[in-house]
Amino acid sequence: MSLVNPKPLTRREFLRSAVKWSGGVALGAAAYGGFFERVHVVVRRVEVPLQRLPEAFDGLTIAQISDLHYHPEFSAGVIRKAVEIVRELKPDVVAITGDFVTLSEFHQYDPKAARVAVPCAELLAPLQPKMGVFAVLGNHDSYSDPGFVAEVLSAKGIRVLQNEALPLDRQGHRLWVAGVADVLAKFADLDATLEHVPPTEPVMLLAHEPDFADRAARHPVDLQLSGHSHGGQIRLPGFPPPLLPALARKYPMGLRKVKQTTLYTNIGLGTIVVPIRFMATPEVTLFTLRVGKESAS
């Protein structure tokens, strides 16, 4: 049998093949992001040394979830899975950093959007850590009906912090859990939040928008937990996230140091616009606080 050299492709044939190939890759990526990664919740474990942490709180564990964006088809199962994971981790504290609901139009008030806070709160009800569940509202919550969202969460034992701080007590020492109302909605008041916190006692601040850390770092805030970014939700290898919301562009994901404040941006559980995540897997973050010298940024 003789070997025949294949006929070389013309430029038009090459481009047509390339378009078909790239379209297939895009379709495969969308299917992966929509059917697998979007519902695959991972646990990220992070040790956080805090210089001002009392010895009594060394080893305290905090589970964080964020950006739930309840939807009966696209996120309810993910939220349920995350709650199961958190219960298995048995943290001392649970922190939820906002966006329980989803707006149809950004920055336009839509009270009807708040209705899904009811089934969302039902899914979160099994969270019962030893030292409490604390939450702040996000921009979607705050442009819907923030009072209603806070009310239904509170009814399920979730303490919603709106420009206030509460102390956790261990062996006569205190760690304050503080929470600001939403920054984008212009409800945040950090001075009022920290008004009753002694300046010598450590503070963990919940703030939906991570870039708020630039402001928080001008105050005695030791740790800030945030969400909001979704990690870009859809990311491409070798490129920065193409779409990031305001106040999540400087610190879009992971652990950072902003002056003396340690910041962590959780990339969330739910989705908006399209029910796809790619290279931005839903996460539960488990923090272990340690007494020790903090790492440099």
Token pair 């013309």 in the structure block, residue: 10
The per-residue pLDDT for range 90-99, each reduced to its tens digit, is 999 999 999 9
Has residue 187 got a pLDDT over 80? yes
Q: How many CB atoms lie within 10 A of CB 274?
A: 13
Phi and psi, residue 136, nearest 5°: -125, 160
The token pair at 283 is: 């996460």
What residue ranges define each of the domains in the chain, with the CATH number in brackets?
12-291 (3.60.21.10)
Q: How many CB atoms lie within 10 A of CB 179?
A: 27
Element (H, E) at 176: strand 173-179
This prediction has a pTM of: 0.88
What's residue 28's pLDDT? 44
What's residue 15's pLDDT? 40
Estimate the crossing angle of helix 117-124 against helix 76-89, to 10 degrees: 30
What's residue 294's pLDDT? 55
Report the relative pairing of strands 61-65 and 93-97 from DSSP bridges.
Answer: parallel
What's residue 12's pLDDT? 53
Quick one: which of 270, 272, 225, 231 has its CA closest to 248? Answer: 231
CA max distance for the chain? 89
The token pair at 87 is: 């219960």
- Which residues, other chains included, contact 238 with Cβ-Cβ below 8 Å and sequence gap of 6+? none
Task: Give yes or no for a contact between 183 and 143, defined as CB atoms under 8 angstroms apart.
Answer: no
The per-residue pLDDT for range 221-233, each reduced to its tens digit, is 999 999 999 999 9
CA-based torsion, 117, 120, 125, 127: positive or negative: negative
Helical residues (DSSP H) of the chain, grouped into ranges: 11-35, 76-89, 117-124, 139-142, 146-154, 190-193, 213-216
Task: Give the Å distances, CA to CA, from 258 to 137, 221, 262, 263.
Answer: 23, 10, 6, 7
The per-residue pLDDT for range 154-179, each reduced to its tens digit, is 999 999 999 999 999 999 999 999 99
Token pair 């210089």 in the structure block, residue: 51
Has residue 17 got a pLDDT over 60? no
Pairwise CA distance, residues 93 & 70, whole Å: 22
Mean pLDDT, residues 110-122: 97
Helix, strand, coil distribution of the chain in percent, nearest 5: 30, 25, 50
Q: How many residues does the chain have?
A: 297
